[in-house]
Structure formats: structure tokens, C-alpha cells
């Protein structure tokens, strides 16, 4: 349990995490971010291992949030988080790759969080 607390503290110390944000909210936020970055069209499974990993991780994060809370919560939170991320994209001028450090930090946080909770998608690479 102490190791879990230390890992969680390290994850939450990141500037990207919201202090006191419930796990299920973080799961939904990460799923929405991953989905936004992979695009609105669902990739064909098996054509790209990395996309399978991203899509699988987002799907698993949503499922875990539903297990923790419920489907209605996840749906409502996903809509809210999508609006937040679209605003961040615009406000941060993330169309310019030089301005994407915040989104890179969030992605790192999200995949560490997914790994810690064991909700990653199919891994396309050896660990």
C-alpha cells in the first residue's frame, strides 16, 4: 500500500494533474485526450499496433471509470472534458508543435496512470 501511495503521489505531483481530482475523473479525462489525439475516426484494429494501444488504453480507461462510478457519469464527464481539451488546444496554440509541451506532459501522465492501474491497451512493444 505504501508503494501505491508513493507512485500515486508522484503521478499527482505532475503539473498536469488536478489536485484532488477523483481517479474516475482522471480516467475519463485521459481517455478523452487520447481519443482527441487519435482522431474522430476509429482506426481499423490490427493495422497499426501503436494506434491499437492508444485506442485500447482509452477504451479500458473509460470502462474502469464506469466500473468505479457509472456509464452516465462517464458520458457526462467526457463531454465536459472534451470541451476543456478543445479550449486548451486553441488557447495554447497547439497547432504549432513548439507549443505542445503541456499535452505531452498529460500524455505521459495518462499512460503512466493507465500502466499503474493495469488498464493499458495491447502493448505494441516490449517493456
Any domain includes 30: yes
Range of the domain at 79: 23-39+48-117
Any domain includes 122: no
Mean pLDDT value across residues 92-111: 90
Is there a contact between 43 and 116 (Cβ–Cβ < 8 Å)?
no
Any domain includes 127: no
Vertex 91: Cα angle to 86 and 97 (nearest 5): 85
pLDDT-based confidence at residue 126 (cuts at 50, 70, 90) = low
Is there a contact between 64 and 119 (Cβ–Cβ < 8 Å)?
yes
Any domain includes 70: yes
Question: Domain tally for the chain?
Answer: 1
How does DSSP assign 82-104, residue by residue? HHHHHHHHHHTTTTSGGG-HHHH
Any domain includes 125: no
Any domain includes 78: yes
- Report if pTM > 0.85: no
Any domain includes 92: yes
Q: What is the pLDDT of residues 42-89, one digit of tens each?
A: 778 888 899 999 999 999 999 999 999 999 999 999 999 999 999 998
37-72 residues labelled b (16+ CB within 10 A) or e (exposed)? eeeeeeeeeeeeeebbbbbbbbebbbebbbeebeee
Q: Which of 26-30, 86-90, 122-126 has the lowest mean pLDDT?
A: 122-126
pLDDT-based confidence at residue 122 (cuts at 50, 70, 90) = confident
Amino acid at each position: 500500500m505504501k508503494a501505491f501511495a508513493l507512485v500515486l503521489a508522484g503521478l499527482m505531483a505532475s503539473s498536469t494533474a488536478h489536485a484532488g481530482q477523483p481517479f474516475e475523473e482522471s480516467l475519463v479525462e485521459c481517455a478523452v485526450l487520447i481519443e482527441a489525439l487519435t482522431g474522430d475516426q476509429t482506426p481499423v484494429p490490427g493495422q497499426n499496433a501503436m494506434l491499437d494501444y492508444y485506442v485500447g488504453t482509452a477504451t479500458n480507461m473509460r470502462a474502469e471509470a464506469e466500473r468505479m462510478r457509472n456509464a452516465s457519469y462517464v458520458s457526462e464527464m467526457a463531454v465536459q472534458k472534451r470541451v476543456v481539451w478543445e479550449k486548451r488546444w486553441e488557447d495554447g496554440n497547439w497547432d504549432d508543435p513548439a507549443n505542445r509541451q503541456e499535452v505531452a506532459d498529460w500524455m505521459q501522465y495518462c499512460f503512466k496512470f493507465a500502466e499503474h492501474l493495469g488498464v493499458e491497451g495491447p502493448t505494441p512493444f516490449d517493456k
